[in-house]
Amino acid sequence: MFQTSTPVVGKGFHNRETELEALSRAMQRLVAGQPQWVAILGPRKIGKTSLVLEAARRARTDTLRVITLDVQEQGPVSTGVFRRLALEVLDAALGRELGESLERLAHEPAAYRSLLQRSERFGRLSASLRSEILELVEGQISLERLGAWLDLPEQLAAALGLFFVIALDEFQELETLKAQKDFNAFMLMRSRWQKHRRVTYFISGSARSMLLKLVQSPQSPFFQHFALRELGPFSTEAAMELLQRESHPESPIPRDVAELAVKTIGGFPFYLQLLGEELVDRQGIPDQSSLKTSLQKLLFSRTGRLALYFEGEFQKLVGRSTFLAATLDALAEGPINLTAIAEAIQAPTGATVTYLERLQDAVARTEDGLYRLADPTFALWLRWRRPGGTIVPMSVVGDEAEKSVSHALSAMGFDLVYQSKGSRGAFDLLATRGALQLGIQVRRSSLPLRFKRAEWSRMVADGRSLRWRWIVASVSASGEITMLDPARASVRRGATLSEKARIPNLLLWLDLQGPVG
């Protein structure tokens, strides 16, 4: 089963053995009284949360409890995040016994307190710790309280014989926190956390360079406090395995399809899961043709799930700046140097450098100093949405013949789509130009083309029922394309298309045809 809406753990979790091992070592060190902090760097949706949760699941001993918190999950970060964290820690410590969540009751102080009073373990805590906890959900936030909340996990762990792993996602966002003048959230955290012996901290975030600076810059309070783990896309093998193992056992994704899928969409587990979901949503064993339509639906369409995800990322990156949009567009083609970008976006190189910086981690550098987009799948989507970009799907998953036919049609102003089997009948491609729909059957051989009777009748019938104009495109071994008019076929037992069916000017030919049907 493919999973796309929540972090994956257990059977659905793939790969990442080295990373799991590193986290497991950190947890062993925690239990041995030598906590080691870990920073997990990786772009959005690469699997940071899944990794932490899976490591925790595998480590599960009754005394080790894991808390994961995305610091910006509830909108812009505020110091309230520390209250939420303290509540989550409480839930991890007492929730099992209570069978209810204390965090859920954060807005009902009376109910919160009465639930706590039911806990026998709570009753065993020291008086000062108990009153600290009872007051947690109420009152103004002060610097002093923040400090106490930060220490709560250590105190609870010591009192109850537990260990905590606290995993904070999008950690770098805490930089903007202001409690009062000269307040530095990182400084406060570092000074408290450092004394903790029964709690360890895993931080992660998608803003790679910010997070890297936070753990590597000598000016940072966290300088050299974290072991670094980088999380990248899956290798081709691991990516193929995910696709194959999660598909239906009775109609698994074949190796060649998985291979082409990974070649096209890359090794981001999230993208693979989305594609897998799309692929197995169809009848039967997925083949290359279902891969084409799945990609078309997922990535190369306005409403595809991956397309919508990229649209969101694009808006976040670019905002209203047309220059930033143009910069992304210039990068979409592949590695490019500064001068060429500046030229493409018609800006001075100085300004171009600023635009590139504003795009932050979306942009990477090659070894020889060229600029490129960090995510090649995002680049693919950007190329598809350009004018004339509708041939991108054919150029990545089409065979040579489909590629050349779609190029030729695109040059005439057509947009191209892979239609699903059910809605394209006998045709390989659909080309549209305004309201006009043209079905194309691609033949990888030179003239004359021969068709069996049944095959031919089917095309005629499909053309009629879909209300498409249709043609046959012959692509010779040397790549020469001939567009052929089915009305000029000689039909006897079978049908034959020869030189005399050639359409010399497709646009003119279409103009001269009456309405379909």
Ligand X SMILES: Nc1ncnc2c1ncn2[C@@H]1O[C@H](COP(=O)(O)OP(=O)(O)OP(=O)(O)O)[C@@H](O)[C@H]1O
Where along the sequence are the contacts to Mg ion (CB under 5 A)?
48-49, 169
Token pair 């783990």 is found at 229
Residue 153's binding partner among Mg ion, ligand X, none (Cβ under 5 to 8 angstroms by kind) is none
Least separation in angstroms between residue 42's CB and Mg ion is 9
Q: Percent helix, strand, coil in the chain (nearest 5)?
A: 50, 15, 35
Question: Toward ligand X, which CB reaches closer, 202 or 414?
Answer: 202
Q: 435 and 422 in contact (C-beta within 8 Å)? A: no
Question: Toward ligand X, which CB reaches closer, 50 or 406?
Answer: 50
In the list 153, 233, 266, 269, the residue contacting ligand X (rule: CB under 6 A) is 269
Please, which residues bridge with residue 430 across strands? 417, 439
Residue 314's binding partner among ligand X, Mg ion, none (Cβ under 5 to 8 angstroms by kind) is none
Torsion sign across C-alpha atoms 69, 73, 74, 78: positive
Question: Toward ligand X, which CB reaches closer, 313 or 462?
Answer: 313
* Per-residue CA distances from 260 to 114, 254, 277, 379 (Å): 58, 10, 16, 18
Question: Toward Mg ion, which CB reaches closer, 49 or 79?
Answer: 49
Least separation in angstroms between residue 9's CB and Mg ion is 13
The tokens for 313 are 């990322």
The tokens for 63 are 């005394």
CA 435 to CA 437: how far, in whole Å? 7
CA 431 to CA 462: how far, in whole Å? 15
Least separation in angstroms between residue 95's CB and Mg ion is 21
CA 326 to CA 427: how far, in whole Å? 36
Reading phi first (left if > 0) and then psi (alpha if -120 to 50, else beta), residue 326 is in alpha
In the list 15, 293, 404, 410, the residue contacting ligand X (rule: CB under 6 A) is 15
Question: Toward ligand X, which CB reaches closer, 138 or 237?
Answer: 237
In the list 3, 72, 78, 101, the residue contacting ligand X (rule: CB under 6 A) is 3
SS3 472: strand
Assess 290 for contact with ligand X (CB under 6 A): no
Helices (H), 319-443: 322-331, 338-345, 349-358, 376-384, 392-397, 400-411, 421-424
CA 101 to CA 339: how far, in whole Å? 57
Please, which residues bridge with residue 18 across strands? none
Residue 45's binding partner among ligand X, Mg ion, none (Cβ under 5 to 8 angstroms by kind) is ligand X
Assess 270 for contact with ligand X (CB under 6 A): yes
Question: Toward ligand X, which CB reaches closer, 169 or 278?
Answer: 169
Q: 53 and 66 in contact (C-beta within 8 Å)? A: yes
Question: Toward ligand X, which CB reaches closer, 205 or 389?
Answer: 205
Assess 239 for contact with ligand X (CB under 6 A): no
Assess 294 for contact with ligand X (CB under 6 A): no
* Range 153-192, binding ligand X (CB under 6 A): 169
Closest residue to bound ligand X by CB: 47
Question: Toward ligand X, which CB reaches closer, 245 or 433?
Answer: 245
CA 174 to CA 435: how far, in whole Å? 52
Least separation in angstroms between residue 268's CB and ligand X is 7
Q: Which of 52, 57, 25, 53 is nearest to 40 (CA)?
A: 52
Q: 447 and 460 in contact (C-beta within 8 Å)? A: no
Residue 377's binding partner among Mg ion, ligand X, none (Cβ under 5 to 8 angstroms by kind) is none
Q: How many residues bind ligand X (CB under 6 A)?
A: 23
Write each residue from 38 to 77 as x if it is in contact with ligand X (CB under 6 A), else as -, in one continuous string: ----x-xxxxxxx---------------------------
Assess 79 for contact with ligand X (CB under 6 A): no
Question: Toward Mg ion, which CB reaches closer, 229 or 383?
Answer: 229
Q: Which stretch binds ligand X (CB under 6 A): 8-16, 117-125, 183-191, 280-288?
A: 8-16
Helices 185-193 and 143-160: crossing angle in degrees, nearest 10, is 30
Closest residue to bound Mg ion by CB: 49
CA 212 to CA 153: how far, in whole Å? 26
Sort strands 363-365 and 371-373 into parallel, antiparallel or unpaired: antiparallel
Question: Toward Mg ion, which CB reaches closer, 146 or 167?
Answer: 167
CA 276 to chain centre: 13
Assess 314 for contact with ligand X (CB under 6 A): no
Q: 198 and 30 in contact (C-beta within 8 Å)? A: yes
Least separation in angstroms between residue 211's CB and Mg ion is 13
CA 290 to CA 66: how far, in whole Å? 41
* Range 409-468, binding ligand X (CB under 6 A): none
Least separation in angstroms between residue 317's CB and ligand X is 15
Q: Which stretch binds ligand X (CB under 6 A): 14-22, 93-101, 280-288, 440-448?
A: 14-22
Question: Toward Mg ion, which CB reaches closer, 70 or 485?
Answer: 70
From the CB of residue 57, how many other CB atoms can be counted at a distance below 10 Å?
12
Question: Toward Mg ion, which CB reaches closer, 169 or 278?
Answer: 169
Least separation in angstroms between residue 5's CB and Mg ion is 12
HSE, CB side, 13 Å, CA atoms: give it for residue 195.
13
* Range 185-214, binding ligand X (CB under 6 A): 206
Residues making contact with ligand X (CB under 6 A):
3-4, 6-8, 13-16, 42, 44-50, 169, 206, 242, 269-270, 273
